[in-house]
Amino acid sequence: MASKVGSRRWALQLLMQLGSVLLTRCPFWGCFSQLMLYAERAEARRKPDIPVPYLYFDMGAAVLCASFMSFGVKRRWFALGAALQLAISTYAAYIGGYVHYGDWLKVRMYSRTVAIIGGFLVLASGAGELYRRKPRSRSLQSTGQVFLGIYLICVAYSLQYSKEDRLAYLNHLPGGELTIQLFFVLYGVLALAFLSGYYVTLAAQILAILLPPVTLLIDGNVAYWHNTRRVEFWNQMKLLGESVGIFGTAVILATDG
């Protein structure tokens, strides 16, 4: 009996560490995909989302925070810094108006950014730590969970009102309209759980099971988004990396919620 309990605890710790690795490495992929995206735009004489002098400071801050989070040095503080950096850069890109996206793409982009910020807040609360020396901050974790709930509401909204997202599900998942409605209800229920703070661990476990096939079949279908919907290749790769980071957050909450 004791060996079974020990094996279960070891498996949960392993999954929790996996979630932390996926989330803390997310800024590295974000910076790389942004550099590739802006290099492509430079060839076409198009501007990046953020002016170049500020862009380097933004990416430097992101890499700095990600490095310290990855090595576990003052992880809580640098996770909070990563959340602040991502929020500021997203706001700067939004008000800058250098690049114009369609409304449906804005929902996809900004909802994932909100979820990643929520993941960093969950990490800043102390969740996902193998050896916790300080008490966990429940307020930070609750705020991060609310951000995840907002992301799920946006996904559910897109399934009802975004032609592009609906076609992605219809073309690549069996069941047709029934599948879309089932996903809509499921996303809505999970969002309520994260927003209310009830059954968070169970909701995170369901989300952790749900995200891999959805990420692979929907976000991972780069040909659909790039060729059919004209989403820039490296922008879609950035969104794909953020989906992996959201999965990491779900795993952390599922194992250490």
Q: Share the mean pLDDT of the chain.
A: 91
Check residue 31 and give its pLDDT. Answer: 95
Q: What is the mean pLDDT of residues 39-56?
A: 84
At which residue do the structure tokens 């800043």 appear? 124
Quick one: what percent of the chain has pLDDT higher than 70? 97
How many Å from the N-terminal Cα to the C-terminal Cα in the chain?
24
Return contacts of 74-81, CB within 8 angstroms, 24+ apart: 75/24, 75/123, 75/124, 75/129, 76/123, 76/124, 76/125, 76/126, 76/134, 76/137, 77/124, 79/24, 79/120, 79/121, 79/123, 79/124, 80/120, 80/121, 80/124, 80/140
Check residue 54 and give its pLDDT. Answer: 87
pLDDT bracket for residue 41 (50, 70, 90):
confident
Instruction: Sketch the domain layout of the chain as residue ranges.
Output: 2-256
Q: What is the mean pLDDT of residues 146-175?
A: 93
pLDDT bracket for residue 156 (50, 70, 90):
very high
Check residue 5 and give its pLDDT. Answer: 63
Q: What's the pTM?
A: 0.93
SS3 call for 101? coil
**Please, what sign has the CA dihedral across residues 198, 154, 50, 67?**
positive
Check residue 2 and give its pLDDT. Answer: 54
